[in-house]
Structure 1
Amino acid sequence: MKNINAFKEFLTDEVNLNQSRIDTLDQKIESIKTFLKENLDCYRKVEKQGSYAMQTIIKPVKENDEFDADLLVYCHEIEGWSPANYIQELHGLFKNSGNYSHLAKRKTRCVTLDYSGDFHLDLVPCVEEDDSTYICNFQENKFEETDGTGYRQWLSDKTTSTNGELKRVTRLLKYLRDHKKNFTVKSILLTTMLGNSVDSILRSEFKDTPAALFKIVNSLNTYLRNNPQMPVIKNPVLLDEDFNRHWDQEKYENFCDKISIYHEKIEDAYYEENRNSSILKWRKVFGDKFGTIIQNNSTPKIVVTPRKPHSIGW
């Protein structure tokens, strides 16, 4: 049984980042943009990046845990500057500011503003040349090609093809990873595999979140079964880059095993015809905060139960 309303409530109450924290983040970013416009001589523009930009950001496991967000800081190319100069300039600007000096930390490819107990914001300086975008490696003092906002657009197109459901499914799988802690996969790697998984599914089949979850996990599970050796997952808009860093065959096999288990549990819950039994089965996937059990003296809600096909592997 789909339990569509239970999914909506679960996403709102347990998975999605609180609106108040998003509002705080947006306000801080607007202040930072104003600060950069007024003080950074090479400033061009700022673009959201990562899960914050793609709307796949989720609530931290614990209430007081920090989340992270990324910004690309586009800079005019300065003659004579090395890659390290851009990070050094950005870092120095914040360190010499009364408002930001205690927050700023210089890292290899970014300057981090750490709002302790709430979030940290990674500001990544970049320059454009010949239709390509390059970020700066401070330690090695070299430019590294990146896709700019290309990946964000790729995922946006994939999300549109799923009637908006891909981003919700991505959040649900990230929630599973963070709360179950029984498999490890970087967010960019997981997001890419989920995005790739929608290609074989008709848009008309993305009717709602539980249907999309079932279809996408089924597609991903099939792909993993067909690839027992860890495949190279490439950046779909920058094919010279792969996302397999910090992943190995052992971690991949564990990921395959866990996705197979969750696929079976999702299928079981999806086709369960009894409403309460279905909620209990969904809880085997997402935990006890999913849904509510209707007592015998309650009026049952109208629910939609998908009909299980006879063919195997649908």
Structure 2
Amino acid sequence: MRLTESLRNTHSPSIITEVHDYANFLLKELAQQRNLPKSKHKLAVERYNAVAEWINSAPEGSTLSDVPINFYPIGSFATGTTVRPRGKDEYDLDMAGELQFPHNEVQDPRTIVDVFEERIRANATYDRIAERKTRVIRLHYAGDFYLDFMPCLPNELQNLKDTSIKVPHKETESLYLLMDSNPIGLSMWFEEQSKIVKYIKMALNERKDSIVAPIPRHTYDKKPLLQILQLLKSARDFYFINDEEGKKQVSSVILQVLLGKCYDGEQNLFISLKDMINRIFHQYYSETNPTILNPINSNEDFAKKWREEPEKLGFKKFKGFIYHVREKLLEIENTNGGYSAMSKPFKELFGENSTKKTFSTLGDAIQKNTETKGSFITGAGTLTASSASNTKIKGHEFYGTK
């Protein structure tokens, strides 16, 4: 079955084959491998709460003592799509610290970052690991993760149901500008059928006293769209493993928006990923002036930076990555001879170590089950006992052999 040649509104469902079921199982295993481990998730929650408590307990008479601050996770930490980093030990986890102060009364946005950083550095432990970045104060917990705290303000037009904010953005050492943002709104759009981030918005609705919104619980039972985003981010990280600038050009938020706009509810990870990549490919590959509008703020175009480059190098890197993923998925779909024949394109997508571990997991499970009563892969990508509606697993050939 060739990849569909159309975008979402003219998309025809793919026919599920044995190859699709094998690939679905393997992608589910890969997604679990790339997850933030439960132990690190627990540690990150503890440290997030401790930092928030420290900032919100500013002594009487200090700059922040009378300013309520709402803390909440943003980005991949809010949606549960954090992926294991390549080439480094630390995960990158993002938080917002929303100061309940009218932004139109702020003469210099830099002062917001200054007072936020000053309070963090008043703690000797945090002072040793703190670093100011373009938009965040980073706390570097060596060997575990970065906690990036982004100080921000409510949008002056904000009502109790809105989550839009203003973020001090460092243009130069002396110039900070207030930029529009809405990370929680974007997360809620991406998971509009999920309950994962909705309670964060509920916690912020009052916006009166300081609030420390809870982190979403650690789970491996994720909806397909979240797993697909994790997988595509992992493929991007491997593709750009020696090109940090290329990785920045194909940002996680761009992948998130494009996948969110394409997703049609397909549960099989392989079919869903290949169909969405094909739609993205046909929509953008011949494009010369791309646009990727923020679905919750049409005034924000994530592709603007690509168009402003003289040679559009960032857009070329994006197209090269999408083409690469599309070709590897085609190779997987067209393989013959059992699941082990898929190992080469899987390695070229996700790297040898991840692929070897994943194929070994499948091989061990097949061997264990076939020694007893025979095994099958369901359409959901799980191993089960014999059933007429499932895909019969061929003899175990192990990773990379035939």
| TM-score of the aligned structures, taking structure 1 as reference length | 0.82
Task: Note the C-alpha offset of 1:55.
Answer: 1.7
SS state at 1:232 partner: coil
Match of 2:251 among 170, 174, 186: 186
Instruction: Kindly name which structure, 1 or 2, has the bigger radius of gyration based on alpha carbons.
Output: 2
Distance across 2 between alignment mates of 1:155 and 1:112: 26
Partner of 1:152: 187
Q: Does residue 235 in structure 1 map to residue 300 in structure 2?
A: no
Partner of 2:96: 72
Per-residue CA deviation, residues 22-52 of structure 1 (Å, 9 max, x unaligned), is 2211111011121122124213311111121
SS state at 1:85 partner: helix
SS state at 1:109 partner: coil
Match of 2:223 among 164, 172, 179: 164
Cα distance change, pair 239–140 in 1 and its aligned pair in 2 (3 A) = farther
| TM-score of the aligned structures, taking structure 2 as reference length | 0.65
Partner of 1:130: 157
Distance across 2 between alignment mates of 1:281 and 1:136: 43
Match of 1:32 among 47, 51, 63: 51
Task: Note the C-alpha offset of 1:294.
Answer: 4.8
Check the 8 A contact 1:158/1:166 in 2, yes or no: no
Per-residue CA deviation, residues 188-247 of structure 1 (Å, 9 max, x unaligned), is 12222222222xx3x2xx12222222222222222223x421412222212222223654
Check the 8 A contact 1:158/1:195 in 2, yes or no: no
Percent identity over paired residues: 22
Task: Tell me whether 142-151 or 48-57 shows the greater mean CA deviation.
Answer: 142-151
Q: Give matches, 1:1-314, under 5 Å.
A: 1=19, 2-3=21-22, 4-13=24-33, 15-39=34-58, 40-41=64-65, 42-62=67-87, 64-77=88-101, 82-128=108-154, 129-131=156-158, 132-137=164-169, 139-157=174-192, 164-181=223-240, 184=247, 185-198=250-263, 201=264, 203=265, 206-225=266-285, 227-244=286-303, 247=306, 248=309, 249-272=312-335, 274-288=338-352, 289-290=354-355, 291-292=359-360, 294=363, 298=367, 299=370, 301-303=375-377
Task: Note the C-alpha offset of 1:153.
Answer: 1.0
Unaligned runs of 5+ residues in structure 1 are 308-314
Per-residue CA deviation, residues 165-209 of structure 1 (Å, 9 max, x unaligned), is 1111111111111112275411212222222222xx3x2xx1222
Q: Which amino acid aligns with 2:273?
A: L
Q: Which amino acid aligns with 2:84?
A: K
Task: Note the C-alpha offset of 1:149.
Answer: 1.7
Task: Tell me whether 151-160 or 25-34 shows the greater mean CA deviation.
Answer: 151-160
Aligned residues: 296
Cα distance change, pair 302–70 in 1 and its aligned pair in 2 (3 A) = same
Task: Tell me whether 30-39 or 107-116 shows the greater mean CA deviation.
Answer: 107-116
Q: Which amino acid aligns with 2:27?
A: F
Cα distance change, pair 83–284 in 1 and its aligned pair in 2 (3 A) = closer
Distance across 1 between alignment mates of 2:134 and 2:314: 26
Distance across 2 between alignment mates of 1:284 and 1:145: 38
Q: Which amino acid aligns with 1:53?
A: A
Per-residue CA deviation, residues 284-308 of structure 1 (Å, 9 max, x unaligned), is 433333223759x95374246999x
Check the 8 A contact 2:238/2:349 in 1, yes or no: no
SS state at 2:318 partner: helix
